């Protein structure tokens, strides 16, 4: 990032690097993808309108801002509705829609704190230290949440793991 202030180019780079992952992250707090996109865009518009001091970790800063914005948006909604079960947020590399929907459902069933750690680590590539900074939680707690979440996701995704089909053919 350039200088001691976030400038438009810095904000653009942050958005390009983290935008899709931030939308996925916001989906963990909000009822649908459109609300998540609105939340992420609101954060970046605010960043563009005001010059803020460059945070120590800009990625951690935008995650914290998106989390706060999403929680505020969720509180302002009179009732929560769940993400449409058949509306895929993820796209499976091999085109397996069922696997993508299973992952989406498994993520939605994780405790919010575990889901938060997984999304920030996997989809944004943040380090556990950056996640701890963004969430104001100890590094050991973040590491535990991440580990527990991965265990649960692996279990749910086991039917889609490579090699399973070969065992069934024998």
From residue 116, give the alpha-carbon distance in Å to each of 119, 137, 148. Answer: 5, 12, 12
Domain range list for the chain:
8-78+87-161
In this model, does residue 167 exceed pLDDT 70?
no
Written as one string, the DSSP assignment of 7-68 is -HHHHHHHHHHHHHHHHHHHHTTSSSHHHHHHHHHHHHHHHHHS--BPPSSHHHHHHHHHHH
What would the pLDDT profile of 143-165 be if each residue is shown by its tens digit? Answer: 999 999 999 999 988 888 776 54
Q: Mean pLDDT throughout 109-115?
A: 89
CA distance 137 to 79: 29
- What span, in angstroms and rounded, lies between the C-alpha atoms of 152 and 123? 17
Is residue 58 within 8 Å of residue 6, measured between CB atoms? yes
Is the separation of the CB atoms in 118 and 107 below 8 Å?
yes
Copy the structure tokens of residue 94.
């091999």
Q: What is the pLDDT of residue 41?
A: 93
**Domain 8-78+87-161, CATH homologous superfamily name and number:** PhyR, sigma-like (SL) domain (1.20.140.160)
Kindly report, residue by residue over 125-145, the tens digit of the pLDDT.
889 999 999 888 999 999 999
Report the sign of the C-alpha dihedral through residues 113, 21, 86, 105, in that order: negative
């Amino acid at each position: 990032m350039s200088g001691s202030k976030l400038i438009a180019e810095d904000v653009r780079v942050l958005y390009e690097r983290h935008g899709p992952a931030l939308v996925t992250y916001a989906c963990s707090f909000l009822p649908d993808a459109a609300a998540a996109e609105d939340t992420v865009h609101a954060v970046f518009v605010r960043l563009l309108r005001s010059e803020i001091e460059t945070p120590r970790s800009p990625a951690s800063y935008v995650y914290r801002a998106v989390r706060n914005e999403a929680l505020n948006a969720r509180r302002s909604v009179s009732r929560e509705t769940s993400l449409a079960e058949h509306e895929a947020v993820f796209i499976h590399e091999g085109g397996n829609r069922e696997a993508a929907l299973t992952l989406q459902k498994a993520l939605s069933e994780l405790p919010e704190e575990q889901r938060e750690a997984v999304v920030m680590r996997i989809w944004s590539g943040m380090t556990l230290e950056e996640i701890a900074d963004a969430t104001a939680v100890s590094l050991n707690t973040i590491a535990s949440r991440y580990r527990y979440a991965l265990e649960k996701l692996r279990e749910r995704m086991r039917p889609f793991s490579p090699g399973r089909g070969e065992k069934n053919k024998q």
